[in-house]
Amino acid sequence: MLDKLQTIKERFEEVGQLIVMPESMADMSKYAKLTKEYKDLEKVVKIYDEYDLVIQNLANSKEILDTEKDAEFREMAKAELDELRPRKIELEEELKQLLIPKDPNDAKDCVLEIRGGAGGDEASIFAGDLFRMYQRFCEVQGWKLTVLDLTFGSAGGYKEIISTISGADVYGMMKYESGVHRVQRVPATESQGRVHTSAASVAVLPEMDEVEVNIDMNDVRKDTYCSSGPGGQSVNTTYSAVRLTHNPSGLVVTCQDEKSQIKNFEKALKVLRSRLYEIELARHNDAVGAQRKSMVGSGDRSDKIRTYNYPQSRVTDHRINKTVYNLPEVMDGQIGEFISALRFTENLEKMQTSGIEN
């Protein structure tokens, strides 16, 4: 760990010199990246410097105890040791956490996409239940959730609903929700009381900006149309809704949230960037293969991650074999317990992979 910390400190000093160089200040993109790296490294270096000072003071106090005859000096050294030893342990734990490889997207806002899967009308109803669950969670976190586009289910809920979430550390928490969510319950449409299993898929994508994902607008076809509501009826007489088609990938994004066509276009473009980023990330993850599969936060939308069993009021997260029996509370947005456990497991895996625990 100390070798890694020393390397980080050397890089911190190097970045500090690069920032003030004329060529860096002339390139705003480069300057912004260096500034961000400097601030990120500064957090680690500050703790490391204190840790290094504590180590030195511990060594000095031990030396006094071993060599000093004066009782008063020995008592002072012993008191300092009693104070420094627990602080050393605290700083070591802080440094271990800081050394865990960070996902650079954790601090970003995100795009949340929920789609009804296998199960017909019940899957759409369940997709609506999941959306309300995330709505409540966002309220508790103080995040802002904005619906961009939706398609209602014929019996309630949504066949598809796409929204954005903005706030602090949004993607870093919501990314664990990507995957297939299953529900086991008696559907409202079931006349004989049989328990059915249905599913809905959740995709959580980091919101990317123009610098990170550059789109050639010559590859994008823009269509406008009137916004629609339940049943397909028009709710707006102006062509404010926007549909973007990315020809190289075949991706289609729609947005009808705003009354302004320009605002809908900007939001649709954000979603398109996020989806294109996801495609590139999937290619990268396929390349690293086994390493990716070891992470609970892989975010593969085809993975079955959680089951909601209504008859037994049971919710099980299959990635960490965690089961709780408070389904009504979970569906009311209390998913923080799952997210904390998933984050802890992923961090532990990262620590073991990078050898930080040693």
H-assigned helices in 168-260? 170-174
Given a contact cutoff of 8 angstroms between Cβ atoms, the answer to whether 253 and 272 are in contact is: yes
Note the pLDDT of residue 292: 43
| Beta-strand relationship, 179-185 and 304-309 | parallel
110-347 has CATH 3.30.70.1660 classification: yes
Number of Cβ atoms within 10 Å of the Cβ of 271:
24
State residue 295's pLDDT score: 41
Q: What parts of the chain have a pLDDT lower than 50?
A: 230-236, 288, 290-295, 298-300
pLDDT at 313: 96
Task: Quote the tokens at residue 256.
Answer: 């009808």
Backbone angles phi, psi at 88, to 5 degrees: -60, -45
Pairing of the two strands 304-309 and 314-317 = antiparallel
Pick the CATH number of 2-99 from 3.30.70, 1.20.58, 3.40.50, 3.30.310: 1.20.58
Whole-number pLDDT of residue 356: 61
pTM of the model: 0.68
Provide the pLDDT for residue 232.
Answer: 44
Q: Starting at the edge strand that comes first in sequence, how are the strands of the sheet with 144-152 ordered?
A: 144-152, 158-166, 110-116, 196-206, 179-185, 304-309, 314-317, 322-324
Beta bridge partners of 188: none
Q: How far apart are CA 167 and CA 60, in angstroms?
A: 46
* Contact present, 35 and 19 (Cβ < 8 Å): yes
pLDDT for 129 equals 97
> Given this model, what pLDDT does residue 333 score?
96
- Residue 48 host element (H or E): helix 28-67
Q: What's the pLDDT at 125?
A: 94
CA distance 66 to 69: 9
What was the pLDDT predicted at 350?
78
Q: What is the pLDDT of residues 113-139, one digit of tens each?
A: 999 987 788 999 999 999 999 999 999
What local confidence, expressed as pLDDT, does residue 351 receive?
Answer: 73
**Cβ neighbours for 346, distance < 8 A, ≥ 6 positions apart:** 295, 296, 297
What are the residue boundaries of the structural domains of the chain, listed by start? 2-99, 110-347
